[in-house]
Amino acid sequence: MKQKRATVTFQPEGIIVEVPLGETILTATKKAGIILTIPCGGHGRCGKCKVLINKGQNSLKGDFHTKTLTLKEIEDGYRLACQTKVEGDLEIFIPGESRVISQKILSDSLPVKMEIAPVIIRQQLTIPQPEEHSNMADIDRLLVEIKKTFPHQQIIIPYENLQKLPKILRKKNWNITLTYQKTSTTKLEILEIQAGQANGSILGLAIDIGTTTIAASLIDLETGERVQTASCVNSQMLAGEDIITRIHYASANFSNLIRLQNFVIKDINNLIKSFDCKPRQIKALTLAANTVMTHLFFGIDPSYIWREPYTPAVSQFPTIQADRLGIKIHPLSKVRALPCVSSYVGGDIIGDILVSGLHQKDKPSIIVDIGTNGEIVLGCRSWLLSCSVPAGPALEGAEAKCGMRATMGAIERVTINPETLEPTFNIISAEKPLGICGSGLIDLIAELFQAGTLTKAGRFTVRDHSRIRKGVHGLEYLVANKEETITQQDIVLTERDISNLLRTKGAFYAGYVTLLKSFNLTFQDVDTFYVAGGFGDSINAKNARTIGLYPDIPLEKIKSIGNGALGGAGLTLLSEKFIDTAKRIAKSLTNIELSKNYDFMDEYTLASFIPHTHLDYFPTVQKLIETGGIKY
């Protein structure tokens, strides 16, 4: 007799879910709250979603399995979660490498001193009661009193606040608390009218929607304090890990687009629920995200953003009432997004600029935002230049053989004994390592180079060593052997991994130089080198400089600004002037297209070495080599 539903048990968590027969294992994992890594968007092409069937069916559908898994894996019981339907009760083991684990997000504090002039203000009022010869409409009576405080402002009262007005006014003897939101310099909109004296903090929400992670910080709009922060995986991951897959998905039809929009809105609502406040206390929301993520958040078609000639639909996003978007904060709150400059330069970069204060400095500074896509800004008070680095996610650990994101199990810091070549490493929140994240890769290359085991071109100078051996992709360095790892497989750094990373860091370096050159500047002219994103804090700046990812400037000029998107979004909540500043920055920022820039191409070729073809560009490294600090 056929079963209609089946139970699926996920190990090692032991989570049991009940699903209708015919659903994919991928869908079942979602129900269990487990997020699998699905780089190909669940189309059976990447093989990354593999899971191990412990008990239950083992039928094999389609030829996706044979194309992505080894025969051994298939025989062992590995299946693609996205291609395998539940046909009966199952017990499934999910290997660590198939999971997306909530990332370590650095949400940094706001700049220390600033004048707080929040967009939300509160006022207590006592209104004279109506009498026989003074019986104008309640609203007019209220407006007369408001005008005494705000004579020059246009006061807007949303319809929802009129509906119950008569009883609210009379409830506490015509004593009320008004909460306004400034919608422009001349307009005040009444957000809330409460009887009597209202208490409780007024909160604002800053949101950073990353391709993989959504981070939120709750800010007290009166004190400027950050009350709480939270982050979660962006559920859009279920529709594809990378941006291109999501654009294709959203482009197919309008309901797909709305589905992606709803994913993030639901994520944001869940983050809101996790905070220790009443959702209605949150009275403003600002979002900072890259151009595609911002489009998806608003449900605006992103089809042409990443297609020549690269036109986003919108750059300055509209201000929308929270309830129209389904965001569960005070329904009349305004939701804003930091503006985007172009297809590649989004609100996240505007946030970086706001937080760094680069747009206010006399001398030029550089911001580098190292994420899935690298962005560089060079500028000062008078001008702003930006470019997107045409580099893959090598620094996110995605391209290396044993690479992974900076999540649980990642090797994030490494030192190598130059004599024995034995490594010592830090692992994020785990005993045993699972892989190597970007900062770990940088450390490894820098340490190996300093130990004299790597050439400028990133080739091993040593072979037949217990740690350096021949692998499938040229020589490789054994970081941890299988006895020490979670996966029970060796963790290695291959020559291919190194050359991938050198290409990426070369693109960044070439980016800095190309921007500087267009104003005839050199690194000597740079006031500060800001590093935005979680990387800024986890990267060993000295090592990053040694391999040439950072330029050779004094370490004290290198500053981490953490999550600039989140910080910048927060600033606009605390002072309305930042909203205008953000728009002004977006308008004045000039983006340079590197992919067809010959200067860039030349610089790129020169920079794909450790630290650079021209050692004299890295005097610090040169000096270390001369003094023997680096064996070379």
Instruction: State the nearest-atom distance from the C-beta of 69 to ligand FES, in Å.
Output: 9
Give the integer Cα–Cα distance in Å for 101 and 435: 13
In our burial notation (b when 16+ CB lie closer than 10 A, e otherwise), range 188-204 reads bbbbbbbbeeeeeebbb
According to DSSP, the residues that pair with 403 across neighbouring strands are: 436
223: tokens are 């004190």
The residue among 44 and 403 lying less far from ligand FES, judged by its C-beta, is 44
The residue among 47 and 611 lying less far from ligand FES, judged by its C-beta, is 47
Give the integer Cα–Cα distance in Å for 386 and 332: 36
Instruction: State the nearest-atom distance from the C-beta of 140 to a second copy, in Å.
Output: 6
The answer to whether residue 438 forms part of the interface with ligand FES (CB under 6 A) is no
Task: Return the one option of ligand FES, a second copy, none that residue 80 interacts with (CB less than 5 to 8 A, by type).
Answer: ligand FES
Task: Return the one option of a second copy, ligand FES, none that residue 482 interacts with (CB less than 5 to 8 A, by type).
Answer: none
Task: Return the one option of a second copy, ligand FES, none that residue 141 interacts with (CB less than 5 to 8 A, by type).
Answer: a second copy
Size of the residue set binding a second copy (CB under 8 A): 44
| Distance from the Cα of residue 44 to its chain's centroid | 26
The residue among 249 and 460 lying less far from ligand FES, judged by its C-beta, is 249
The answer to whether residue 432 forms part of the interface with ligand FES (CB under 6 A) is no
Task: Return the one option of ligand FES, a second copy, none that residue 165 interacts with (CB less than 5 to 8 A, by type).
Answer: a second copy
The answer to whether residue 166 forms part of the interface with a second copy (CB under 8 A) is yes
Query: Reduced to 3 DSSP states, what percent helix, strand and coil does the chain have, rounded to the nearest 5?
Result: 35, 25, 40
573: tokens are 């909540």
According to DSSP, the residues that pair with 233 across neighbouring strands are: 213
Instruction: State the nearest-atom distance from the C-beta of 496 to a second copy, in Å.
Output: 34
The dihedral sign for the CA sequence 581, 583, 588, 590: positive
The answer to whether residue 48 forms part of the interface with ligand FES (CB under 6 A) is yes
Instruction: State the nearest-atom distance from the C-beta of 216 to a second copy, in Å.
Output: 22
The answer to whether residue 49 forms part of the interface with ligand FES (CB under 6 A) is yes
Interface residue with ligand FES, options 6, 19, 40, 305 (CB under 6 A):
40
Instruction: State the nearest-atom distance from the C-beta of 70 to ligand FES, in Å.
Output: 14
Size of the residue set binding ligand FES (CB under 6 A): 12
Residues 6+ apart with CB under 8 A from 263: 234, 235, 236, 238, 239
Task: Return the one option of ligand FES, a second copy, none that residue 301 interacts with (CB less than 5 to 8 A, by type).
Answer: a second copy
Phi, psi of 167 (to 5 degrees): -75, -35
Which span (43-51, 177-185, 260-268, 314-322) binds ligand FES, by CB under 6 A? 43-51
Which span (78-86, 154-162, 381-389, 487-495) binds a second copy, by CB under 8 A? 154-162
Instruction: State the nearest-atom distance from the C-beta of 171 to a second copy, in Å.
Output: 12
Give the integer Cα–Cα distance in Å for 555 and 109: 21
Task: Return the one option of a second copy, ligand FES, none that residue 78 interacts with (CB less than 5 to 8 A, by type).
Answer: none
Phi, psi of 385 (to 5 degrees): -130, 140
The residue among 222 and 301 lying less far from a second copy, judged by its C-beta, is 301
Instruction: State the nearest-atom distance from the C-beta of 41 to ligand FES, in Å.
Output: 7
Q: Judge whether 264 and 209 are in contact, CB under 8 Å.
A: yes
Instruction: State the nearest-atom distance from the C-beta of 30 to ligand FES, in Å.
Output: 13
Instruction: State the nearest-atom distance from the C-beta of 301 to a second copy, in Å.
Output: 5
Instruction: State the nearest-atom distance from the C-beta of 236 to ligand FES, in Å.
Output: 14
SS (H, E, C) 567-627: HHHHHHHHEHHHHHHHHHHHHHEEEECCCCCHHHHHHHHHHCCCCCCCHHHCHHHHHHHHH
Interface residue with ligand FES, options 46, 176, 178, 389 (CB under 6 A):
46
Task: Return the one option of ligand FES, a second copy, none that residue 88 interacts with (CB less than 5 to 8 A, by type).
Answer: none
Which span (47-55, 427-435, 540-548, 594-602) binds ligand FES, by CB under 6 A? 47-55
What is the contact mask toward ligand FES in residues 74 to 113, using x (rule: CB under 6 A)? ------x-x-------------------------------
Query: Binding to a second copy (CB under 8 A): which residues in 133-152?
Result: 134-141
Looking at beta carbons, which pairs linking 516-524 to residues 24 or more positions away fall under 8 Å?
A: 516/378, 517/599, 518/385, 518/592, 519/364, 519/378, 519/383, 519/385, 521/364, 521/378, 523/551, 523/552, 523/553
Give the integer Cα–Cα distance in Å for 511 and 532: 16
According to DSSP, the residues that pair with 416 across neighbouring strands are: 423
Interface residue with a second copy, options 1, 4, 186, 308 (CB under 8 A):
308
The residue among 215 and 237 lying less far from ligand FES, judged by its C-beta, is 237
523: tokens are 């690194």
Interface residue with a second copy, options 5, 147, 167, 463 (CB under 8 A):
167
Q: Judge whether 320 and 298 are in contact, CB under 8 Å.
A: yes
Give the integer Cα–Cα distance in Å for 315 and 340: 5
Which span (220-228, 295-303, 534-542, 606-614) binds a second copy, by CB under 8 A? 295-303
Residue spans of alpha helices (H) in 393-494:
438-450
CA of 224: how far to CAs of 109, 112, 198, 203, 219, in Å? Answer: 11, 10, 20, 9, 6
Nearest to 110 by CA among 204, 181, 180, 213: 204
Give the integer Cα–Cα distance in Å for 537 and 547: 17
Phi, psi of 277 (to 5 degrees): -150, 165
In our burial notation (b when 16+ CB lie closer than 10 A, e otherwise), range 381-398 reads eeebbbbbbbbbbbbbbb
The answer to whether residue 592 forms part of the interface with a second copy (CB under 8 A) is no
The residue among 257 and 549 lying less far from a second copy, judged by its C-beta, is 257
The residue among 61 and 482 lying less far from ligand FES, judged by its C-beta, is 61
Interface residue with ligand FES, options 9, 42, 138, 328 (CB under 6 A):
42
- Applying CB under 8 A, the residues found at the interface with a second copy are 130-132, 134-141, 157-159, 162-167, 170, 254, 257, 298-301, 303-304, 308-316, 318, 320, 324, 340, 342-343
- Applying CB under 6 A, the residues found at the interface with ligand FES are 38, 40, 42, 44-49, 68, 80, 82
